[in-house]
Amino acid sequence: MKMLSLQGMFKPRSVMVVGISNKPENLGYTVLLSLREFGFPGKVYLVNPRLTEILGLKVHNSLEEISETVDLAVICTSAEKVPSILQKIVDERKARWVVVYAAGFGELRTEEGLTLEEEIRRIIYGSEVHVVGPNCIGVYSFPGKINTLTGARDTYKLISELSGEGNVGFISQSGWFTIQFMSACVLRGVYLNKAVSTGNETDLTTTDFMECFAEDPEIRVISSYLEGVKDGRKFIETLKKTTLKKPVIIWKVGKTNVGKEAVKSHTGSLAGSAEIYDAVFRQFGVVSAEGNEDLIDYTVTFATCKSFLGKGRVGIVSGPGGFAVATAEACEKFGLKIPKLSSQTVEKLRKVLPKFAGGLLNPVDLTMRVGMEPELYRNALEVVAEDENVDLLIVVGNPPIYQTIKDLVKNLEKPVFAVLGYFKDFFEETKKLVKIGVPTYPSPEKAVKSIKALLNYQTYLEKKNVGSGAWI
């Protein structure tokens, strides 16, 4: 039931902001600005007992003044006021979905906080109302033109700048990390389709949203920042089904003793055994990220690469000799094969490359001459891509590469990955390359580790007799 109906939360026809204020530093005011900045096309209802108008919109003095049932209510009050507001919403059927921003609930591990959180459970039990949070920053949907992700005065401007048509669904138990992750992905040329900050997960959980995203045709990749789960059996069953349809990338925190204690005070979650999570992730094909950088790199890779990696045999074409060596070593470290190029390929390379070009085996070392003759990249890639011993290509260099290889890449059947180093134009070049299906990284290690994660997932699908084609 939740799986099917959750879609309505991401494409609401109406939104109600309870606890609106005319003060710019107030949370309710920033939510209203977020809706306007993002171009929300539906009805917006504002509720405050002491105001009449904000930014040209009527303010209702009570919930009773609103006759219809809205799709999404956003409660922007302090924690102690939430239960009474939620009770009215349930009793009078004022909303189907409710976002509760306030902190001060179970994560405090105090009697008062635990009691308030239990009140939320009691109030909505048996009703058709479902809650996101508390202690969260809500939901984001580019196709639904809805954004409640906020927390700072100008966050609404940032989210607007970070919005674009994407294929990633993101689920996070951290509000701040939701926005950080979104920012990092956009810098790398990848946009989120939908995102949700789940907070304490008093009602709706990471598992519920994973079920929803699994069935969402607009989402190709599911990524998640996870502190803990409350229903392990349901979580495992959901993973089992979802990973056969699309990749699930999870950064599980709270694996150390210190981390487990931090998780309790952040969202009140039970972190669980690191060994159990690792075993479950391996068994059901979850792409396990070891940290923030992995989560971003893997998401960029899976969202961008839409080609089968075959046996994962790598052909390396590089301008800088040092990074060619580093890329080769990274391949060996992470278990990717670097095959010898066929004699026919070597002969073709001799014809299209100058005599001063370095090794023509693998990696193909073009030397730094490519800085003066960038077309050498295109010439070498085209030849190496034809080698039957090569399944994928890594091109190593520095911006600008896009202009040189864009036409070639569009016609290649084999996937191409780029390592550009930490140059000034890295992010600008990255965005261009991602648009033509080339995931891009600042270092060989990041690239190869990400390719290995993608290859492992494709291998998992093959073992399950699903085949990578079902996802790709």
pLDDT tens figures, 310-327: 999 999 999 998 999 999
Encoded tokens for 407:
């036409």
Distance CA 372, CA 312 (A): 32
List, for residues 248-263, the tens digit of each pLDDT value: 999 999 766 565 565 5
Q: Which residues on adjacent β-strands are paired with residue 289? A: 251
Q: What would the mean pLDDT of 245-250 be, rounded to a whole number? A: 97
Q: How far is residue 255's CA from residue 275's CA, in Å, rounded to a whole number?
A: 9
Lowest mean pLDDT among 227-236, 257-266, 350-359, 426-435: 257-266
Q: What is the mean pLDDT of residues 225-243?
A: 95
Minimal CA–CA distance to 362: which of 350, 379, 346? 346
User: In this predicted structure, which of 155-164, 288-297, 332-341, 413-422 has the lowest mean pLDDT?
Assistant: 155-164
pLDDT band at 264 (very low <50, low <70, confident <90, very high): low
pLDDT tens column, 123-156: 999 999 999 999 999 999 999 999 999 866 677 7
β-pairing, 53-54 vs 57-60, is antiparallel
Tens-place pLDDT, residues 4-44:
478 889 999 999 999 999 998 899 999 999 999 999 999 99
Helix, strand and coil in the chain, % to nearest 5: 45, 15, 40
Instruction: Output the pLDDT for position 6.
Output: 86
- pLDDT tens across 87-126, in order? 999 999 999 999 999 999 999 999 999 999 999 999 999 9
**What pLDDT does residue 368 have?**
80
- Helix, strand or coil, per DSSP, at residue 342: coil
38-42, 331-335, 369-373, 379-383: least confidently modelled range: 369-373
pLDDT for residue 400? 85
pLDDT in the model for residue 79: 97
What is the pLDDT averaged over residues 283-294? 97
Residues ≥6 apart with Cβ < 8 Å to 154: none
Evaluate whether 354 touches 364 at the Cβ level (below 8 Å).
no
Instruction: Identify the pLDDT of residue 2.
Output: 46
**Residues of the chain with pLDDT > 90: what percent?**
81
Per the listing, tokens 């009703």 go with 127
User: What's the CA gap between 146 and 282, in Å, rounded?
Assistant: 35
At 231 the pLDDT is: 92
43-to-50, 55, 70, 305 alpha-carbon distances in Å: 21, 15, 9, 39
pLDDT of residue 268: 54
* Distance of alpha carbon 127 from alpha carbon 142, whole angstroms: 29
Write the pLDDT tens digit of every residue in 294-305. Answer: 999 999 999 999
- Radius of gyration, CA atoms only, the chain: 25
As beta bridge partners, residue 404 has none
CB 58 within 8 A of CB 2: no
Instruction: Check pLDDT > 80 for residue 77.
Output: yes
Among 203, 76, 201, 210, which Cα is nearest to 130's?
Answer: 203
Question: Residue 358's pLDDT band (boundaries 50, 70, 90)?
Answer: low
Structure tokens at 177: 């990390």
Query: Which amino acid is present at 20?
Result: I
- In this prediction the pTM is 0.94
Query: Contact, 437 vs 418, CB < 8 A?
Result: no
Mean pLDDT (whole number) for 459-469:
84
Give the model's confidence band at 1: pLDDT under 50 very low, under 70 low, under 90 confident, else very high.
very low
Task: Return mean pLDDT, the chain.
Answer: 92
> How far is residue 27's CA from residue 472's CA, in Å, rounded to a whole number?
41
CA-to-CA distance for 269 and 238, rounded, in angstroms? Answer: 19
